[in-house]
Structure 1
């Protein structure tokens, strides 16, 4: 499965990271209270099955961004964001009161760590426009923000930042100063946004490398996640050399068409990830979502139970990182059971060499090797809008003339067979097995 060399940062994510991100629930407006409530519930409900990251998503420096920070401000307007004397963004105390008196996000990270969890933080590529306008100094240099800004490089959906011109001498020092601060706060995971792709814009290789170098220099391991997708497949080597995970798609929401399309993306990224570097199918819109934006009204996920099971199965056998987007305190028992099935999570953690065994129109099968045994994981999917039967021959599985099946979702042994495996599945549903030679 490996297609890159082994790099030191790979050690920080030997298996796909599992966590929760605030974006799908709270958009740009999450507060300290809401974040802590989710941390508490996460520790109680998810941590025992291997979930560990709690990630604060975007606009945490904005005192009042609304559900989604509006990129369509009048020309020339730049919102005022909390920052220090070096132009580095700080949490807005209006929303994060524990950040007062220069504490930054350390109290929130400490709270997350006190629950036995890891703290993640969203950042935007580049340097704040307000720092460029004010010509704030770049820490440790004689340069200012205006000297290193690439003002023609702008995010198309958020008007807070300019890109950094990495050909300028002080550019790396700026990124180093950011990660020096994040290390002081106790950050364990970085989601770097507006850096992977901005269709039809560029792949920001130089700034990806700058962030990678800054993490290596700061002295604290931080998993690096890159957004938004779709990531360019032809940059797989570069991605694996500099990041731990990267988005394969644009924002993923609770629509069947998006899940249907994800099967093609997973197939396209086959063999381009491995221990420490993971193609990412994006957050899981499960449970109660859009409580404060950013897409639609507050609602329970529009995915049916069958579709949620299909999503969890595909993400698990493909070995995507798992990042829950729903409100953790209000998770219902059915959703929680999908997220905490240890046998399904084992396929995500220990499966090796996953690939699409076949696809025939709307019938799909995936398979992977269990690195802890000689068993295989087998997933069958019916992507049709009606009931259909998905077959797999024992020759395709490759474990011999007789195998035993265990249903991972039901946690039931199904006995041995020498026959072709045929599973009738309802629309948009799946089956997930552990297959053993007999």
Structure 2
């Protein structure tokens, strides 16, 4: 009888874990992230303004995540939008400024930036606000444990007698951010610390965490640690890891432990970076699928760098043709779509890029995206339309001059004529027998749906 009971318990546990793993990121996550427009210095009212915009204009098209990026526990002085907040106190070795942290060594949002967090409420009030709009809430976290928790020897919740200094790997440091140490996951209490973090985030209502400084170099045991912590937190949570390059030879591991992972370092509004992204994407071809997605990084579309972190405040430096190439490739490749620009300042061009349901369907429902060909001047990717013989095709002019770009239907297994629909224009262009050829501006793209005539 005891054996049957144990088998039943194990079965229920494994099914519940499997169910949780398979209820998030079934399609590429779509949302907004504060980093590209506000750096480390986004404020609660700005997050709410972007959430309000998303709920009104983008939610009907499938956009849902609102993500607060890094250093939300830091009270940014004027002009500090990125970087290293800490200096050692000369008298006792403590850290200045002291980040907002509880007695268990867990960081909390800084109330001067997030007033609703005052009194130890954390992000729950802001998450509630986002949830009431019918959206989902996410946060950025740095890998590991705060150095100030190690200095203070903060106790670890759920691990009796263990303190932060006993689980930190003080030799494991981020190259560009100085307020965390890595965790030694072989030490007793390290997993308990991550479990306590995710239980805290779950109590706030967090639906998405972006863990930074973990994919490059690839910290395998800590990635597993976050994955395990999510499984026990009692709430479905998307796990995004960054920055890239995530090692391609870890594809098997990352697909089992993360929902999305960065293929490259931070992507910005520069044409050469789009060209590089094509190569990164090719190296991860045929890896993405339901619950696990290679990530091209955030969409550099709209008003950027209002408060850092790279360059002056501006609308994206991409030309209009480059903007369409940017969005078209992210969609045909089925990358997560996380908008980097400040949504309330969107113009007509941004609205067209974000609210085209036929284009977004390529990202959300296209199957098996593949590169059809790539030359020095042109490129084509395609994916299959589910429950159909139709095929999505994205054609790119990657040269520095206007030219015609073609797709040969036989290369896609199509024959006897094809109907071509332009998805950006939402227009059926006509019927073609063997090939479709179209003029495309330099650095431009076209996205079509091919329907066999028979």
TM range (shorter): over 0.9
CA distance in 2, matches of 1:150, 1:384: 48
Q: Size of the alignment, in residue pairs?
A: 429
| Map 1:6-405 → 2, pairs under 5 A | 8-64=20-76, 66-71=79-84, 79-141=97-159, 142-197=161-216, 202-405=217-420
Deviations 1:264-320 (A, max 9, x none): 111111011101100000000111110000001100100011101001110101100
Q: Which whole-Å CA distance do the structure 2 matches of 1:64 and 1:72 have between them?
A: 8
Is the CA contact 1:79–1:160 (under 8 Å) kept in the aligned structure 2? no
Deviations 1:97-141 (A, max 9, x none): 100111110000000001000001101000000000010100122
**Structure 2 length-normalised TM:** 0.92
* C-alpha distance in structure 2 between counterparts of 1:354 and 1:159, whole Å: 39
Tell me, yes or no, if the aligned pair for 1:394 and 1:401 is still in contact at 8 Å. Answer: no
Q: Per-residue deviation at 1:371?
A: 1.1
Pair 1:7–1:106, CA change in 2 (3 A): closer
User: What's the CA shift string for 1:366-398, capped at 9, x where partnerless?
Assistant: 111011422100010000110111121111121
SS in 1 for 2:392: strand
Superposition misfits of 4+ residues, deviation over 4 angstroms: 72-78
RMSD: 1.4
Q: In structure 2, what is the equivalent of residue 3 of structure 1? A: none
Change (3 A) 1:89 1:138: same
2-structure distance, mates of 1:276, 1:72: 35
Q: Distance in 2 between matches of 1:182 and 1:12?
A: 16
Decide whether the 8 Å contact of 2:23 with 2:236 is kept in 1: no
Unaligned runs of 5+ in 2: 1-17
> How far apart, CA to CA, are the structure 1 residues paired with 2:387 and 2:119?
50
For the 8 Å contact 1:26–1:67, the answer to whether it is kept is no
Instruction: Specify whether residues 87 and 62 from structure 1 end up closer, same or farther in structure 2 by C-alpha distance, changes over 3 A only.
Output: same
Match of 1:415 among 409, 427, 430: 430
- The 8 Å contact of residues 124 and 161 in structure 1, kept in 2 or not, is answered as yes
CA distance in 1 between counterparts of 2:423 and 2:176 reads 41
**Secondary structure of the residue that 1:285 maps to in structure 2?**
coil
Supply the distance in 2 between the matched residues of 1:127 and 1:240 (Cα, whole angstroms).
Answer: 25
Match of 1:432, SS state, is strand
Whose relative contact order is higher, 1 or 2, with alpha carbons under 8 Å and at least 6 apart? 1
Extract unaligned runs of 5+ from structure 1.
1-5
2: distance between equivalents of 1:78 and 1:374?
Answer: 62
Q: Distance in 1 between matches of 2:80 and 2:359?
A: 34
Aligned match of 2:9: none
Counterpart secondary structure, 2:125:
helix
Aligned to 1:434: 449
Q: TM-score normalised to the size of structure 1?
A: 0.96
CA contact (8 A) 1:256 1:307 kept: yes
> 8 Å contact 1:67–1:294 — kept in the other structure?
no
Larger radius of gyration: 2
